[in-house]
């Protein structure tokens, strides 16, 4: 009796799920499935272009998938989407969208106003990546808004794979070049995906950690940023201990210089490390007392950022 009930239950579930499964290919054929979109602005009108998946009816779906470009121009991004709906006679779907790329024409606009529409599209995966000018994979739309809503409202977007764009209150502020981007990556405690080269020697970064500590010294805000980096010497596995120490010292001097130049570019304009928030959380009483006679801009101007770097070279 028990087995019979299980069999009946199985067929009931099958009857419920089968129609949805059968209709899924038809649903895909009825939608314009965007896998990535680029948003720009020209002559006071928005331009939305995207790559779509086109499925040919019948046959092997995996083999019959093709990509096709669609473009629309209108006074707003939503109207661009409406145009694509109308011109393709299919509803636009963002369920498979992996990249949103923002163009130069949006330089003077608050990009949060544009991205908010996509953030609240329930079908859009929050892991959709956002980048500036070129496709990048470092920041998701969810991470962008997390930083945008912080007190400093300083946001970082990749500009392709080697450079970075900095935004203040949603508006483009300035760019970091490749060297500065590497320095920023190190400061954020992330491992850079490239070898370090010094005096002809090649080192592979195996680990990178960063600790940021806030404190007051003589009533002035001080930030200690400690970087610890482990590297492996690939070009000379027989190097002596003294040679490895000399190499570590040379690499340290180079990275210290790159980091200091990057810090000087970022601060006081863009608090990308959310130092203001860190003071508020970790030094609450002293910070509130300090803020009694200071505003946000004054705090950023008076910050003393001290960089400490420790590099280990092993074979």
Structure confidence at residue 4 as a pLDDT band (50, 70, 90): low
| CA angle, 107 then 108 then 111, to 5° | 75
Q: How far apart are CA 208 and CA 79, in angstroms?
A: 45
With beta carbons less than 8 A apart as the criterion, state whether 227 and 209 touch: yes
Q: How far apart are CA 294 and CA 286, in angstroms?
A: 13
Q: How far apart are CA 202 and CA 251, in angstroms?
A: 11
With beta carbons less than 8 A apart as the criterion, state whether 254 and 227 touch: no
Name 38's bridge partners: 49, 101
pLDDT digits (tens, 9 = 90+) for 109-145: 999 999 999 988 878 887 899 999 999 888 999 999 9
pLDDT digits (tens, 9 = 90+) for 68-123: 889 999 999 999 999 998 988 888 888 889 999 999 999 999 999 999 999 888 78
Go through the domains of the chain in sequence order and give each one's CATH number.
178-315 (3.30.300.210)
Q: Return left, alpha or beta for 216; rule: phi > 0 is left, psi -120 to 50 is alpha, else beta.
A: beta
pTM of this prediction? 0.83
């Amino acid at each position: 009796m028990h087995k019979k009930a299980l069999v009946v239950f199985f067929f009931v579930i099958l009857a419920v799920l089968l129609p949805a499964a059968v209709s899924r290919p038809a649903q895909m054929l009825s939608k314009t499935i965007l896998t990535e979109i680029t948003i720009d602005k020209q002559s006071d009108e928005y331009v939305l272009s995207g790559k779509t998946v086109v499925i040919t009816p019948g046959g092997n779906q995996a083999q019959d998938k093709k990509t096709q470009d669609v473009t629309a121009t209108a006074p707003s991004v939503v109207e661009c989407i409406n145009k694509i709906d109308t011109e393709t006679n299919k509803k636009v779907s963002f369920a498979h969208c992996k990249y949103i790329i923002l163009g130069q024409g949006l330089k003077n606009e608050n990009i949060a106003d544009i991205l908010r529409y996509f953030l609240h599209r329930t079908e859009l995966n929050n892991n959709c990546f956002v980048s500036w000018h070129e496709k990048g994979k470092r920041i998701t739309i969810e991470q962008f808004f997390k930083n945008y809503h912080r007190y400093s409202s300083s946001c970082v977007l990749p500009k392709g794979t080697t450079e970075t764009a900095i935004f203040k209150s949603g508006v483009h502020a300035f760019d970091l070049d490749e060297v500065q981007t590497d320095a920023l990556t190190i400061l954020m405690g992330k491992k850079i995906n490239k070898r370090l080269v010094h005096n002809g020697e090649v080192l592979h970064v195996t680990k990178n950690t960063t600790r940021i500590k806030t404190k007051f010294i003589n009533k002035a805000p001080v930030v200690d940023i400690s970087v610890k980096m482990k590297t492996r010497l690939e070009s000379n596995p027989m190097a002596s201990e003294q040679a490895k120490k000399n190499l570590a010292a040379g690499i340290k001097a180079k990275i210290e210089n790159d980091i200091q130049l990057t810090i000087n570019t970022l601060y006081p304009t863009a608090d990308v490390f959310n130092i203001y928030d860190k003071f508020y959380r970790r030094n609450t009483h002293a910070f509130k007392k300090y803020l009694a006679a200071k505003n946000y801009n004054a705090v950023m101007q008076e910050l003393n950022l001290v960089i400490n770097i420790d590099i280990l070279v092993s074979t």
